[in-house]
Amino acid sequence: MHFIVSSNHLLRQLSVLSGVLSSNNTLPILDNFLFEVAPGEAVISASDLETTMTVKVEVKSEDSGSIAIPAKMLLDILKAFPDIPLTFKVDPDTFGIELISDAGKYKLTGANGDEFPQLPELEEATSINMSADALLMAVNRTLFATGNDDLRPVMSGIFFEFYPDSVRFVATDAHRLVRYSRTDVSAADAAQFIVPKKPLNLLKNAAAHAESVALSYNESNASFEVDDVKLVCRLIEGKYPNYEAVIPKENPNRMVINRTSFLQAIRRVSIFANKTTHQVRLRIAGTELTVNAEDLDFANEASERLNCSYTGEDMEIGFNSRFLIDMLNNLNCTEVSLEMSAPNRAGIIRPVDGSDEGEDLLMLVMPVMLNS
């Protein structure tokens, strides 16, 4: 079997797939890319058993067949070539691969393509088409808030909720929560499932320049198709926590402030905060916000004053500065509102402007106890 392909084009497509590769694979075959060649086209796959991704590449070939090629070695040699045509010659008996360029020949040993895990077929799947922009916006707004606790795997992914009139995406790690809703996207049937973090990170790269994403799902797997890329992943099993119960409904104290000024002040002040708690203290009175932090162990302290618009009772509340910075970084509005009910209840951050019609974003952050 032999085929000819552009080195740059192949490298671009394999770079999309390379994020699937895991450094601690249980099966040696998973350290390879699977090439399934047919006349005019090759379908290339990478898998870690939980996530499988395929791309289609245009090739010159009259042959058909499959071969598993060592991924790291192939990526390394492709990066060392200029944009030239490469000829792959595969011996189907020994799985030896000869790579031929204008400059020379390179030999490596592949593996039997039949040993590579098959792409799971989604039976009784439900499908929905979404604009790539809407899905990427949802992933970008929520992914940072997912958890890393192995004991609570349901929190390590994004919770997808589909309804006939809207879709919702939720992420939480028990200290913070992000809920992103859209009413301009809807599904025929209600559905709820949890998609792991890794495939969503891969999807961000694959769908960056796409117009739409075809999403299919059943009880155990989800599939995302974008142009020539297909990604199939196993869903996280388990029941997602009742996140609505932790969102305070009555928040009479509301501060509106310039997002960039607020973010920069927290960044500067948090340098002086305790390195364990990362606590910053917000004191709001009238139209003035005071942000301060201290580390009593080292006698470090910082304080800044900012102008804001505030309605409610004078208030003092503490937050983990890293959570506030993450949230403010993931907004692209000019002004944000911080809604609060009491110093021991969660604060809610929302963008004041910059949202599209039908778009709703809520970020919740738990307070930290203030040292009196």
Q: What is the mean pLDDT of residues 205-226?
A: 94
Residue 371's pLDDT band (cuts 50, 70, 90): low
Both tokens of residue 64?
């058909």
- Of 37, 69, 71, 34, the closest CA to residue 52 belongs to 34
Instruction: Decide if 372 is inside a domain.
Output: no
Residue 104 CB contacts under 8 Å (≥ 6 apart), including other chains: none
> Which of 90, 115, 140 lies at the terminal end of a domain, its last residue?
115
Is the pLDDT assigned to residue 372 strictly greater than 80? no
SS3 content of the chain, % helix, strand, coil (to 5): 20, 45, 35
- Report yes or no on 171 lying in a domain: yes
The predicted pLDDT at position 26 comes to 85
Does 132 map to a domain? yes
Residues 283 and 298 in one domain: yes
The verdict on 257 and 311 lying in the same domain is yes
Do 283 and 347 lie in one domain? The reply is yes
Same domain, 266 and 338: yes
Per-residue pLDDT tens for 144-160? Answer: 999 998 889 999 999 99
Which residues have a Cβ under 8 Å from the Cβ of 197 and sit 6 or more positions away? Answer: 143, 146, 156, 157, 158
Q: Whole-model pTM?
A: 0.93
Where among 87, 115, 143 does a domain terminate?
115
* Domain assignment of residue 121, yes or no: no
Same domain, 238 and 275: no
Query: Is 329 contained in some domain?
Result: yes
Domain with residue 313: its CATH number is: 3.10.150.10
Given 180, 211, 244, the domain boundary residue is 244
Q: What is the mean pLDDT of the chain?
A: 95
Which of the four pLDDT bands, split at 50, 70 and 90, describes residue 85? Answer: very high
> Residue 179: which pLDDT band, with cuts at 50, 70 and 90?
very high
Range of the domain at 336: 248-365
231 and 277 share one domain? no
| Dihedral sign for Cα atoms in the order 360, 361, 366, 367 | negative
Q: Clarify whether residues 139 and 201 are in a common domain.
A: yes
The pLDDT of 168-174, averaged and rounded, is 97
3-state secondary structure of 102: coil
88 and 155 fall within a common domain: no
Is 225 contained in some domain?
Answer: yes
Is residue 100 domain-shared with residue 81, that is, in the same domain? yes
For the stretch 340-363, pLDDT in tens is 999 999 999 999 998 888 899 999
Is 316 inside any structural domain? yes
Q: What is the pLDDT of residue 308?
A: 97
Claim to verify: residue 102 and residue 130 sit in the same structural domain: no
Same domain (yes/no): 234, 296: no
Identify the CA nearest to 254 among candidates 345, 319, 350, 181: 350
Contacts of 182 (CB under 8 A, 6+ apart): 134, 138, 166, 167, 168, 358, 359, 360
Determine, yes or no, domain membership for 120.
no
Residue-level pLDDT at 354: 80
Co-location of 292 and 333 in the same domain: yes
In the numeric block, the tokens 């509005």 are attached to 333
Residue 64 CA to residue 57 CA, distance in Å, equals 14
Domain count, the chain: 3
Place of tokens 């609505």: 244
